Amino acid sequence: MSKVWAQTLRVLEEQLPAKDYATWIVPIRPSGLEEGTATLQVPNGFFRDWVRQYFMRHLTDALTDASGQPYRVSLVVNSELGTPAAPDVDGGTAKRTAAVGLGRVVGRLVPEYTLENFVVGAANELAVQAAIGVSSDPGCQYNPLFIHGGVGVGKTHLLNAVGHRVLRRHGRARVGCLTGEAFVNAMIAALRRDQMEAFRARFRHIDVLIIDDVQFLGGKVRSQEEFFHTFNTLRDARKQIVLASDRPPEEIRDLQECLQSRFSSGLLAPIAAPDEALRAEIVGRKATALGIDLSSELIDLIAGSVQGNVRQLEGILNALRARAVLGGQAVTRGLVREVLGAMLRSDAAHGVATILGTVSEEFGVAVGEITSARRTARVVEARQVAIYLARELTDLSLAAIGRRIGGRDHSTVVYALARVNERSKVDPAFSRRLAGMRERCAHG
């Protein structure tokens, strides 16, 4: 689930009566949150009309709060969503492969995330070799394989590629592929329904267990115990386990010693941010796949301008495709520059959304309150810290920061910066908290 959507849900959960939230918001599946338009899937026409009539304002406001940029909502019916059921490891998402129908996959694999579609370079070479290794001989080499790296560097893609390759090469192997979050939700649902036996049984029959974003287990004691149990059962049976996380095991917050050492006991394979050569290669390959005709000079321009992750490169190419292939414009240097400029601006908005999310969590104040006019001490404190972090972590001007954090004027922003600055000098505990938040913002 995207960050923006997760944050949107948090805002809505605060605002709406619990029953409305559970009935009308939880079943919604976002299928695209690009460029100010949120495409949201709903299970049927009645549902769509109801949401349109009663919750449209809530949705657009919450999305705007969560992302820091204005959003338009488009509701589409996807009858495959079905009526909402209790959370389950299969997730109920629309994208599924045929293999699910064959009963060989628990969870889901994204069809396009194959090894063939993954571009190899210095940043990911070790992880790719390891992925090939474990999918050739599951359970025989590194166990577990633990892949870690920042946002958008290809962890999820590579995990899925392992799943596909196992299914293709080992005719009868069963693959489990889910996120740490889905594992936790499924476990909680099983606990509530008193079905832990069935829950465990599902995992016992898996040959290759792939868990994405295991950092989600951090701080969840009961889930960690259950996962430890599953992990040991599978590993003792020489089944392969593949994990991914946005940080190495020892940096996962509140992860029990025993799990941490299990996670580190096989192969740790980092994926770094792609260097310029890899970025150029990826841009070239993806442009071709999207039918965009890019000269090598323009490929280099894009690869040189976007330092960040692969997801950003894809965003640029999708925007270019919209303008060039669908809009019939020629792909000139001017057009590429224009798209790059727009992208970098919306990145700044994203940065603010991350900061707001982090501060909201730290202070237990809803994002909507931070950006509101409310002046209670707690809200003001959170707001000032958000402003301070935005100044430190984004390139936005003071005026732009003020606009994005609830329409403050320039002098309020200056005042907030001074306050936080002073306090961080005299209050070591506060300054440590600041450092913690800064760190979390930087991690995504």
Determine which residue in the list 77, 126, 151, 189 makes contact with ligand ADP, applying CB under 6 A.
151
The residue among 2 and 376 lying less far from Mg ion, judged by its C-beta, is 2
Q: 320-356 burial by CB neighbour count: b if 16+ within 10 A, else e? A: bbebbeeeeeebeeebbeebbeebeebbbbbbbbbbb
Nearest 5°: phi and psi at 339? -65, -40
Residue 91 DSSP code: T
Does 118 help bind ligand ADP (rule: CB under 6 A)?
yes
Closest CB 152 distance from ligand ADP, rounded Å: 4
Number of H helices, E strands in the chain: 20, 9
Question: Across the strands, what pairs with 269?
Answer: 147
Q: Would you call 176 helix, strand, or coil by DSSP?
A: strand
**Two tokens, residue 347:** 């990145």
Cα 28 off chain centre by: 17
Least distance CB 276 / Mg ion (angstroms): 23
1 is a contact residue toward ligand ADP (CB under 6 A) = no
Q: Which is nearer to ligand ADP, 119 or 184 (CB)?
A: 119
Q: Of 52, 72, 229, 311, which lies in the binding site for ligand ADP, with binding defined by CB under 6 A?
A: 311
* Angstrom distance (rounded) from CA 56 to CA 53: 7
Using rule CB under 5 A, residue 215 touches Mg ion: no
Query: For 120, which DSSP code?
Result: P
Residue 156 in contact with ligand ADP, rule: CB under 6 A: yes
Tell me whether residue 60 or residue 117 sits nearer to ligand ADP (CB atom): 117
The yes or no reply on residue 384 touching ligand ADP (CB under 6 A) is no
Chain position whose Cβ is nearest to ligand ADP? 154
Tokens encoding 335: 């057009």
How far is it, in rounded angstroms, from Cα 255 to Cα 218?
5
Nearest approach in angstroms of CB 181 to ligand ADP is 13
Window 328-367: contact mask with ligand ADP (x via CB under 6 A): ----------------------------------------
Binding residue count for ligand ADP, defined by CB under 6 A: 17
Closer CB to Mg ion, residue 147 or residue 339?
147
Nearest to Mg ion of 64, 312 (CB atom) = 312
In our burial notation (b when 16+ CB lie closer than 10 A, e otherwise), range 360-383 reads: bebbebbbbbbbeeeeeeebebbb
Our finding on whether 5 is near ligand ADP (CB under 6 A) is no
Burial grade of 269 (CB within 10 A; 0-12, 13-18, 19 or more): buried
Of these partners, ligand ADP, Mg ion, none, which one is at the site of residue 25 (CB under 5 to 8 Å by kind)?
none
Report if residue 125 touches ligand ADP, rule: CB under 6 A. no
The window from 52-60, 93-101, 145-153, 416-424 that contacts ligand ADP (CB under 6 A) reads 145-153
Q: Residue 160 interacts with Mg ion (CB under 5 A)?
A: no
Helix axes 377-393, 333-363, angle to 10 degrees: 150
Q: Is 156 in the site for Mg ion (CB under 5 A)?
A: yes
Q: Which residues bind ligand ADP (CB under 6 A)?
A: 113, 117-119, 124, 149, 151-157, 282, 310-311, 314
